[in-house]
Amino acid sequence: MKIPSDKQVLVTSALPYVNGNCHIGHLRTYVPADIYVRMYRKMGYVVTFVCGSDTHGTPIVLTAEAEGVTPQVVVARYHKHFKEIFKELQVDFDYYGQTDSETNHRRTEEIVTRLIENGYVYEQVINQAFCSSCERFLPDRYVEGRCPYCGELARGDECDQGCGKHLEPGEMIEPKCKICGSEAEFRNQEQFFFKLSSFTDFLISYLDTMGGTQNAKNYAMEWVKKELKDWCITRNLGWGVRFPGRDDLVVYVWVDAPIGYISFTEELFRDRAKGKGKLGEDGQEWRRYWKEDKAAIVHFIGTDILYHHCIFWPAMLKGAEYSLPAAVVASGMVKIDGRTFSKSRGDVVWVTEFLERFHPDTLRYYLVTQSSHTKELNFSWESFAMRLNNELVAILGNLVYRLLSFAYKNFGTIPDGSIEEEILIAITKTKEESISAIEEYEFKKFVDAVMKLADFGNSYFQREEPWHLIKQGDRDRKRAGEISLNVLQLIKAICILLEAVMPAKMEEVWQQLGMERDLHSVQLDELLVPVESGKALKKPYRLFERVEAEIIEELS
Ligand SMILES: [Zn+2]
Ligand SMILES: [Zn+2]
């Protein structure tokens, strides 16, 4: 999707549910979102990037109960964990909040109240799972049973082993209490419903123009055209955002979680207004994004939460008179050695364990090059080693180290000369390919295009054989310098582009090139600005280390 150049951009990444540690499946959404943000900034856009921890809902309450602590303790632990992971991986949010904040409670109450006032919420008595030995209602994850649609084992509010459908309270067949294992009975209880069905026509026309990946659009359209059922938005639970006027009910976690996107934007601009005391910044700037349609809102999510982002969320925003998302970008899921991710079976790769051995940038690189964004990514240590050895070491690392060693040893500074047409054309072409790939959320295409430029750099250097020329007379020596200058120009361009993917490693290359400006703020206009002759080069070192077969065997 092309975003008009005068529009600001708000990018959000799906909120991690803070009930466990970060695994590489999570990163499939955050890393591409971060790359997208970095590239749009390089293209000259004003981009705001927010995220935060999803803190409510039953899984956290169950964990807390099992540990004998409060939900706040569980939330604080994993909130801290995710913040640390994002820092280490340089997933660089402008603001990272959490949905139990006062702002989010207030914003959720305001939106739900607005939906009530606008006639989109009604009360209804429903038959709901109740455990008579625990003497409680069993919301969401408190209940396990079978899916009424496909018959598979299901838990709580979704059929996660079978058809993937969202399950409404009372829908599950043969419900059992998760706490004590007894068969649950059904009891009447009043709950509040959101009139999702009355948004059918709106959603059909909204989805038709919504940007983002095709998978998001297609799935959502299919669901809407089948039939939309009204949505139960309250639960009998003590942990969450109170339903207005009812002390015994909280709103369903999927109401207050996406509202977090709005609250984090509010909190960001309020903090900025406080911190900077800038004239005109009164903390109300979030309204430009969420009330006044002045920005393009782009949501990065996994395909498992498409329903919530393409159906519930736009209907809620519409019903409460907020701005609608411009695009929903859905990444395919991650498998481990061909198997579905599972903590209990050990089919999981924890990010902290990965980072004990490998540089975070190699993971960022792998996650976007292993498969295109909407396709399933099948992680294996073998495929990781191949990308690292054959691409990062053999193509990119080789180009940078070989050229810089040659130039450093023979010249010490960036040599004189002019940039050849061939080089300028190659850079221009890569720039264009990169921009269109990013606009289409084709992160793999983007990185492949830049790696092709690195490949071209290697063959150019090989073809021109400057190591022969350097041993000859002055004229040949001058030509060897010019060849180096041309490759340096290529490396500069690669560095600016790949900063979006490997910010730390490209910073190192930038330093080796003797550049003084902050690489992270350099824009794409600079790709063709000639490198400055006469500038001192730094002594180069190798960027990436090969990973040997024994290590891979040990890890697999
Ligand atoms: Zn099912
Ligand atoms: Zn029970």
Higher pLDDT, 280 or 234: 234
Ligand with smallest separation from the Cα of 132: 2
Q: Is the pLDDT of residue 346 over 80?
A: no
Q: Is the pLDDT of residue 282 over 80?
A: no
**Rounded distance between C-alpha atoms, residue 531 and residue 361, angstroms:** 25
**Rounded distance between C-alpha atoms, residue 215 and residue 220, angstroms:** 8
My answer on whether 521 and 400 are in the same domain is yes
| Cα-to-centroid distance, 152 and ligand 1 (Å) | 6
**Rounded distance between C-alpha atoms, residue 500 and residue 513, angstroms:** 18
Give the model's pLDDT for residue 142.
Answer: 94
The per-residue DSSP string of 42-78 comes to: HTT--EEEEEEEB--SHHHHHHHHHHTS-HHHHHHHH
Give the model's pLDDT for residue 6.
Answer: 87
| Cα-to-centroid distance, 153 and ligand 1 (Å) | 8
Give the model's pLDDT for residue 475.
Answer: 87
Burial class of 96 by CB neighbour count within 10 A (0 to 12, 13 to 18, 19+): buried
| Cα-to-centroid distance, 187 and ligand 2 (Å) | 14
Ligand with smallest separation from the Cα of 137: 2
Q: What is the pLDDT of residues 299-342, one digit of tens each?
A: 999 999 999 999 999 999 999 999 999 999 999 999 988 887 77
**Rounded distance between C-alpha atoms, residue 13 and residue 366, angstroms:** 19
Ligand with smallest separation from the Cα of 179: 2
Q: Is the pLDDT of residue 277 over 80?
A: no
Q: What is the pLDDT of residues 379-413, one digit of tens each?
A: 999 999 999 999 999 999 999 999 999 999 999 99
Contact between 21 and 350 under an 8 Å Cβ cutoff? The reply is yes
Instruction: Count how many domains the chain has.
Output: 3
| Cα-to-centroid distance, 175 and ligand 2 (Å) | 11
Q: What is the CATH number of the domain that holds 210?
A: 2.170.220.10
Q: What is the pLDDT of residues 460-504, one digit of tens each?
A: 999 999 999 999 888 899 999 999 999 999 999 999 999 999 999
CA angle centred on 316, ends 284 and 53, rounded to 5°: 65
Higher pLDDT, 479 or 160: 479
My answer on whether 457 and 496 are in the same domain is yes
Give the model's pLDDT for residue 12.
Answer: 98
Q: Is the pLDDT of residue 280 over 80?
A: no
Q: Is the dihedral of CA 243, 165, 159, 302 positive or negative?
A: negative
What are the backbone dihedrals phi and psi of residue 225, each rounded to the nearest 5 degrees, phi first?
Answer: -70, -25
| Cα-to-centroid distance, 305 and ligand 2 (Å) | 29
Query: Does residue 273 fall inside a structural domain?
Result: yes
My answer on whether 102 and 153 are in the same domain is no
Query: Does residue 360 fall inside a structural domain?
Result: no
Query: Please, which pLDDT band fits residue 162 given cuts at 50, 70 and 90?
Result: confident
413: number of CA atoms within 13 Å, CB side?
8
Q: Which region, left, alpha or beta, applies to residue 514 given φ > 0 means left and ψ of -120 to 50 means alpha?
A: left
Give the model's pLDDT for residue 178.
Answer: 92
My answer on whether 231 and 294 are in the same domain is no
For residue 30, the Cα-to-chain-centroid distance in whole angstroms is 2
Q: What is the CATH number of the domain that holds 296?
A: 3.40.50.620
Strands, E, within 314-411: which ranges?
327-331, 334-336, 339-340, 377-379
My answer on whether 128 and 83 are in the same domain is no
Domain end call among 203, 225, 248: 248
| Cα-to-centroid distance, 185 and ligand 2 (Å) | 10
Ligand with smallest separation from the Cα of 162: 1
- Its domain, for residue 191, covers 119-248
Structure tokens belonging to residue 344: 């209990």
Burial class of 268 by CB neighbour count within 10 A (0 to 12, 13 to 18, 19+): buried
Q: What is the CATH number of the domain that holds 446?
A: 1.10.730.10
My answer on whether 288 and 230 are in the same domain is no
Domain end call among 198, 230, 248: 248
Structure tokens belonging to residue 78: 């994993």
Burial class of 68 by CB neighbour count within 10 A (0 to 12, 13 to 18, 19+): exposed
Query: Does residue 303 fall inside a structural domain?
Result: yes
My answer on whether 164 and 232 are in the same domain is yes
| Cα-to-centroid distance, 58 and ligand 1 (Å) | 20
Query: Please, which pLDDT band fits residue 278 given cuts at 50, 70 and 90?
Result: low
| Cα-to-centroid distance, 159 and ligand 1 (Å) | 5
Structure tokens belonging to residue 271: 């903090």
Q: Of all residues in the chain, what percent carry a pLDDT higher than 90?
A: 88
Contact between 429 and 437 under an 8 Å Cβ cutoff? The reply is no
Average pLDDT over residues 279-285: 70
Q: Which residues share a beta bridge with 267?
A: none
Q: What is the pLDDT of residues 499-544, one digit of tens each?
A: 999 999 999 999 999 998 999 999 999 999 999 999 999 999 999 9
Domain end call among 221, 248, 275: 248
Query: Does residue 556 fall inside a structural domain?
Result: no
Q: What is the pLDDT of residues 366-376, one digit of tens each?
A: 999 999 999 99
Q: What is the mean pLDDT of the chain?
A: 94
My answer on whether 390 and 524 are in the same domain is yes
Q: CB within 8 A of 185, min separation 6: which ones? A: 129, 130, 131, 132
Q: Which of 505, 481, 492 is nearest to 409 (CA)?
A: 481
Q: Is the pLDDT of residue 165 over 90?
A: no
Ligand with smallest separation from the Cα of 65: 2
My answer on whether 347 and 273 are in the same domain is yes
Percent helix, strand and coil across the chain, each to the nearest 5 = 50, 20, 30
Query: Does residue 554 fall inside a structural domain?
Result: no
Span of 126-135, 246-255, 334-343, 478-487 with lowest mean pLDDT: 334-343
CA diameter of the chain = 95
My answer on whether 291 and 429 are in the same domain is no
**Through-space distance between the first and last CA atoms of the chain, rounded to whole angstroms:** 39
Query: Does residue 127 fall inside a structural domain?
Result: yes
Burial class of 516 by CB neighbour count within 10 A (0 to 12, 13 to 18, 19+): exposed
| Cα-to-centroid distance, 73 and ligand 1 (Å) | 33
Query: Does residue 368 fall inside a structural domain?
Result: no
Ligand with smallest separation from the Cα of 136: 2
Give the model's pLDDT for residue 239.
Answer: 96
Average pLDDT over residues 216-240: 94
Global pTM exceeds 0.85: yes
My answer on whether 17 and 131 are in the same domain is no
Q: Which of 403, 406, 415 is nearest to 535 (CA)?
A: 415
Query: Does residue 30 fall inside a structural domain?
Result: yes
Q: Is the dihedral of CA 405, 406, 411, 415 positive or negative?
A: negative
Ligand with smallest separation from the Cα of 155: 1
Contact between 193 and 125 under an 8 Å Cβ cutoff? The reply is no
Long-range contacts of 470-475 (CB under 8 A, 24+ apart): 470/410
My answer on whether 241 and 260 are in the same domain is no
| Cα-to-centroid distance, 264 and ligand 1 (Å) | 34
| Cα-to-centroid distance, 147 and ligand 1 (Å) | 5
Give the model's pLDDT for residue 276.
Answer: 65
